[in-house]
Amino acid sequence: MTSVLIDGRMSDECERALSLHGFYPIRLPSHPSLPTAISSHPDSLIFYHHNILIAPSEYCEIAPYVFTDIRDRHPDIKLIFSADELGEKYPLDCKMNAKIHNCRLFAREKSVSEAIKDYSQSLGYSIVNVSQGYPACSSLTFGSAAITGDAGMHKAFLSSGIDSYLIETGGISLPPYEYGFIGGASGVYKDKIYFIGDYNAHPSASVIKEAAERHGFTPVSLTDLPLTDLGGLIFLE
């Protein structure tokens, strides 16, 4: 069964929806050094790409049972523990927040984990340096497309030959901040995009639906509540 890493504070309703779709949810506990709002966000704690999972060794010490569960359920996944120390202040809160898409690493080069940079370079991927410190949170990528509410990320995607769609900001909850981001409210598995909440309630719902369907993906709302940024969904094969 495919596992999915989720924020430990996800509602029981949303977790149950993931289970009904055939996934095994693994709740991530909070990292005490991160800001409370994102302290258990998957995209703040873990980087995953092609069966390579990178996480700070300090988080393994905080939540060893999470990684034991991953090892037991997915023996083919290679775990890499980095020396990164996460912190409450930017940019120490975004070291793991990066996005690989279209054979490129989108990251704020000054702040992203060296382990993530080393991994992407080992694949021969170039680094697209962006000012946005939270590329994984601020963008949803699938197929050869991307959806983002961040103008800088939108420009970086277009410059990299990616079919990017710019949506309105807002419409995604992330208390106590004014709003959250589309990547933090979603996750992609095979040909489906799963949304933490109802994407139809977003002001750019028509753009989201059109982008997904144009590229052969089906958007799925896990609940009928407004979209919530919980650091995204990381699916593990």
pLDDT given for residue 225 in this prediction: 96
Per-residue CA distances from 93 to 18, 23, 34, 139, 182 (Å): 27, 28, 6, 17, 18
Across-strand partners of 78? 52
Q: Helix, strand or coil for residue 176?
A: coil
Per-residue CA distances from 37 to 107, 127, 183, 209, 237 (Å): 21, 28, 15, 28, 28
**SS3 per residue for 49-103:** ECCEEEEEHHHHHHCHHHHHHHHHHCCCCEEEEECCCCCCCCCCCCCCCCEEECC
pLDDT given for residue 237 in this prediction: 86
Taking residue 65's Cβ as centre, other Cβ atoms within 10 Å add up to 9
pLDDT in tens, the chain (237 residues): 999 999 999 999 999 999 999 999 999 999 999 999 999 999 999 999 999 999 999 999 999 999 999 999 999 999 999 999 999 999 999 999 999 999 999 999 999 999 999 999 999 999 999 999 999 999 999 999 999 999 999 999 999 999 999 999 999 999 999 999 999 999 999 999 999 999 999 999 999 999 999 999 999 999 999 999 999 999 998
Which is the CATH superfamily of the domain at 3-236? L-arginine/glycine Amidinotransferase; Chain A (3.75.10.10)
pLDDT given for residue 57 in this prediction: 98
Q: What b/e sequence results for 138-164 when a residue is b if at least 16 CB atoms lie within 10 Å of its CB, and e otherwise? A: bbbbbbebbbbbbeebbebbeebebeb
